[in-house]
């Protein structure tokens, strides 16, 4: 091995908001074999701030970044509405791309990405990965391993809980499904090794603190091909903290993620631990490992172990079926088989 061979992959990050800035920092400071070479944002100051801290260049826009010769691979963390067109550009450039979830807000855009990638690489190494980072979270990884190892027998019911402090601006009942619950639509089939076949949408009592354009909380029901029923509570304005959990009930036991707190405090008549205000501390390790695995697979010329474009499409198809149920009284809606 010479040092040159280890020089590292040049990574460009599109989007320097909370998520993009976090990815840029991880690439710059925590990855082996990668160098942050470029960053862009619609808000030039945000891109500039990241660049100043890392030495990365600031191309004119995402498309310029994709074409930049110093960029070997691209991370897309810009607005959801831009995901598809940027991913398509990366495919055209023949460069590996990690697109934050969702691959696209609509089924048709997601399908277009899948088709474009197929046309571009055929049976070769795929170019597109999707950032369903729970697949790399130590908790979810242990959960799946324990399930596969038979520690509780075959799964019969799954309960998911996805709560945040407050919804982002502009959140609607539908975006709660396509933007937040979509993690579950990828995670549950991955966990159970079985695709989602039908879904049903149910409303909790509306929180009086939330504008009714966003039904919050929602309770989602998922049926996978293996017959397992999953309940998912999504509550974007849960106020008390960022709290994502998953319980798998098996035929002779249960598996449950714990909040990975490391410090317990006794104070003022209470015993307990703190919640974070957003998802970054909870999933910091998942994001780091996901990026490292992605970089390593590119360096090795291997297939990415991340979620694929097809996985991204499938999750979007499930989301679409869920919204159909939402708009039709909560009835069970079948997921089109082409989703899998």
Which one, 120 or 152, has the nearer CB to its own copies?
Answer: 152
The encoded tokens of residue 204 equal 């909790």
CA distance 121 to 134: 27
**Is residue 268 a contact point for its own copies (CB under 8 A)?**
yes
Least separation in angstroms between residue 251's CB and its own copies is 5
> If you count them, how many residues does the chain have?
340
- Torsion angle of the four alpha carbons 196, 202, 206, 212, in this order, in degrees rounded to the nearest 10: 70
Which residue, 157 or 303, is less far from its own copies as judged by CB? 157
Name the one range near its own copies by CB under 8 A: 16-24, 97-105, 123-131, 265-273.
265-273
Nearer to its own copies, 193 or 274 (CB): 274
Q: What is the rounded CA–CA span in Å between residue 95 and residue 330?
A: 42
Contact string 18-37 vs its own copies (x = CB under 8 A): ----------xxxxx-xx--
Binding residues for its own copies, total number by CB under 8 A: 86
- Does 150 bind its own copies (CB under 8 A)? Our answer is no
Lookup: tokens for 298: 């590119």
Residue 152 binds its own copies (CB under 8 A): yes
- Interaction of residue 157 with its own copies, rule CB under 8 A: yes
Within 55-114, which residues bind its own copies (CB under 8 A)?
55-56, 70
Alpha carbons 70 and 108: distance in angstroms, whole number? 32
Question: Per-residue x/- marks for its own copies, 215-244, CB under 8 A?
Answer: --x-x-x----xxxx-x-x-x--xxxx-x-
Neighbour order of strands in the sheet with 196-203: 243-250, 155-163, 229-235, 218-224, 196-203, 333-334
Report CA-CA distances (Å) from 106 to 174, 198, 250, 307, 328. Answer: 12, 18, 34, 17, 19
> Tokens 């899948």 identify what position?
114
Residues 197-216 that bind its own copies (CB under 8 A): 202-209
CB of 49 to its own copies, least distance (A): 16
Q: Which two tokens stand for residue 171?
A: 């959140």
| Among the residue ranges 90-98, 99-107, 127-135, 144-152, the one whose residues contact its own copies (CB under 8 A) | 144-152
300 binds its own copies (CB under 8 A): no
């Amino acid at each position: 091995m010479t040092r040159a061979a280890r020089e590292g992959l040049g990574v460009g990050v599109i989007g320097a908001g909370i998520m993009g800035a976090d990815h840029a920092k991880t690439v710059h400071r925590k990855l082996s074999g990668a160098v942050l070479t470029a960053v862009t944002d619609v808000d030039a100051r945000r891109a500039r701030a990241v660049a100043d801290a890392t030495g990365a260049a600031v191309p004119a826009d995402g498309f310029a970044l994709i074409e930049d010769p110093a960029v070997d691979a691209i991370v897309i963390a810009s607005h959801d509405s831009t995901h598809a067109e940027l991913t398509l550009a990366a495919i055209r450039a023949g460069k590996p791309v990690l697109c934050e979830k969702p691959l696209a807000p609509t089924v048709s855009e997601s399908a277009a990405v899948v088709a474009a990638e197929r046309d571009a690489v055929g049976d070769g190494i795929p170019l597109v990965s999707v950032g369903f980072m729970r697949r790399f979270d130590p908790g979810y990884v242990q959960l799946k391993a324990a399930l596969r190892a038979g520690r509780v027998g075959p799964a019969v019911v799954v309960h998911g809980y996805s709560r945040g402090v407050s919804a982002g601006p502009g959140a609607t009942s539908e975006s709660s499904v396509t933007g937040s619950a979509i993690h579950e639509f990828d995670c549950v089939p991955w966990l159970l090794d079985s695709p989602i076949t039908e879904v049903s949408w149910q409303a909790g009592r509306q929180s009086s603190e939330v504008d009714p354009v966003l039904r919050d909380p929602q309770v989602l029901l998922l049926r996978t091909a293996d017959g397992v029923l999953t309940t998912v509570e999504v509550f974007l304005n849960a106020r008390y903290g960022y709290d994502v959990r998953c319980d798998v009930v098996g035929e002779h036991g249960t598996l449950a993620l714990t909040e990975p707190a490391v410090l317990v405090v006794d104070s003022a008549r209470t015993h307990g631990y703190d919640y974070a205000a957003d998802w970054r501390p909870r999933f910091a390790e998942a994001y780091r490992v996901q990026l490292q695995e992605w970089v390593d697979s590119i360096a090795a010329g291997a297939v990415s172990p991340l979620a694929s474009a097809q996985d991204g499409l499938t999750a979007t198809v499930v989301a679409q079926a869920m919204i159909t149920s939402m708009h039709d009284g909560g009835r069970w809606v079948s997921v089109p088989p082409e989703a899998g």
